Amino acid sequence: MKSVLHGVTIRKDLIAYFARRELRNRIAGNIGGLAWTIVQPLMMILIFIFIFSVVLKVKLPGKANTPSFTLFMISGFIPWSQFQEGIFRASASIIENRDAVKKISFPLGTLIVGYVLAVGLIYLVPFILLCLYCIGRAIHLTLIPITKVPITLTLLATIYLLQTTFTVGLGAALASLAVYIRDTLQILPILMQVWFYATPIVYPKEMVPEKFRLILSANPWYAFVECYRSLLFYGKIPSADKVVFITLTSVAVLIIGVRIFKKLRDGFVDVL
């Protein structure tokens, strides 16, 4: 891994600075401050609950009650919201800081990592609340014994770290491409929306036609969602194949993203 990251200097002080600045920019001028970042995904959750639970009346296999579907959906939607927001902010990080990039010499990788970590901090509170509620529910329903709570928390932290790794790698590649192809920032929301609906987040995987199951298995975010749901909704340890898959995919995406970034960064100043 060191050989892959060679030449991409990451300074903790600069990462912290860019993360704090991103958080301040979110708060500046907003009466509601960071609350708005929580309100938006909350409203989307309520909309999806109305559409899929009230209108379409989607039911889970063996789970006929709406509250189960609601928690089922939220356990995948909150991690996805963090991932999507992290990708949006990371992909725009170089362009938004074009003046600093052209005038000051500093490790540009710190911009991407700082932006991703800032988004992670914003979503950390709702994610922790979701984890506490789901673990409490699992204990109450005897899905997991109290003795297995530390293992559950460790696995959740591991998957969360892998998600962050995946986001940084993909964000680095997209941020580099966005400098040269500005349409990237306009196309990205469309692609993310397609990716969202192609992942069983607001519907059970059983609703996917059999002929598309193979494509679904190649979707890394399907594996992420399944791991989160195994721990948060079903109270079970994720299958080893999915954990291995997201681990290898996250590392591979980070390696590829860093290499793309290193290859293209020398021309940033000329293009910006």
pLDDT tens, 206-246?
888 888 888 888 899 999 999 999 999 888 999 999 999 99
pLDDT score for 33? 57
CA distance 225 to 116: 19
* Spacing of C-alpha 245 from chain mean position: 16
Structure tokens given for 120 = 């992670």
Q: Which of 90-94, 99-103, 216-220, 243-247 has the lowest mean pLDDT?
A: 99-103
**Residues contacting 4, CB < 8 A, separation 6+:** 254, 255, 258, 259
pLDDT band at 38 (very low <50, low <70, confident <90, very high): low
Kindly state the average pLDDT of the residues 198-203: 89
| Residue with the larger pLDDT of the pair 265 and 242 | 242
Residue that has been written with the tokens 């948060």 in this structure: 232
DSSP H/E element including 181 = none
CA distance 178 to 182: 5
| Residue with the larger pLDDT of the pair 21 and 164 | 164
Per-residue pLDDT for 130 more than 90? no
Per-residue pLDDT for 132 more than 50? yes
| Residue with the larger pLDDT of the pair 73 and 30 | 73
pLDDT band at 65 (very low <50, low <70, confident <90, very high): very low
pLDDT score for 166? 97
Other C-beta atoms lying within 10 Å of the C-beta of residue 194:
10
pLDDT score for 4? 42
Kindly state the average pLDDT of the residues 114-123: 89
8 Å CB contact between 18 and 106: no
Range of 53-67, 94-108, 203-217, 255-269 with top mean pLDDT: 255-269
Q: Quickly list H helices, 61-108.
A: 66-96, 98-103
Per-residue pLDDT for 159 more than 90? yes
pLDDT score for 10? 60
The residue range of the domain holding 266 is 2-271
What is the pLDDT of the chain when averaged over all its residues? Answer: 84
As for how many domains the chain has, the answer is: 1
* Spacing of C-alpha 150 from chain mean position: 23
